[in-house]
């Protein structure tokens, strides 16, 4: 992903309405995004377009991700969130 596109994505991911989503997405961008394939990057971008509450329900495990393309990214976000909770 080009630097300018990544910066726009970072802005979208860390300026949301729900702090928990901001923190989780921001942490993932720093720690995991660079390891994704192009297809996984696209899946993450698609998730970033989700409504905050819908995304939070997926990240927190309150709702299962039924989209097989997005499920691996949701699992990575859940792990990132879990690591953040453990570190706190």
CA atoms of 23 and 16, how far apart (whole Å):
10
CA atoms of 75 and 88, how far apart (whole Å):
20
Alpha-carbon distance values, 74 to 3, 16, 17, 68 (Å): 23, 18, 19, 10
pLDDT in tens, 39-65: 999 999 999 999 999 999 999 999 999
Q: Which domains, from first to last, does the chain contain?
A: 3-87 (1.10.150.250)
Which residue is listed with tokens 């729900």?
18
pLDDT in tens, 67-76: 999 999 999 9
Indicate the pTM of the whole model.
0.86
């Amino acid at each position: 992903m080009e630097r300018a596109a990544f910066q726009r994505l970072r802005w979208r991911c860390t300026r949301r309405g729900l702090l928990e989503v901001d923190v989780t997405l921001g942490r993932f961008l720093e720690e995991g995004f660079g390891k994704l394939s192009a297809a996984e990057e696209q899946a993450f971008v698609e998730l970033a377009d989700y409504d905050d509450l819908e995304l939070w329900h997926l990240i927190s495990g309150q709702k299962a991700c039924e989209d097989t393309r997005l499920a691996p990214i949701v699992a990575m976000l859940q792990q990132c969130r879990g690591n953040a909770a453990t570190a706190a």
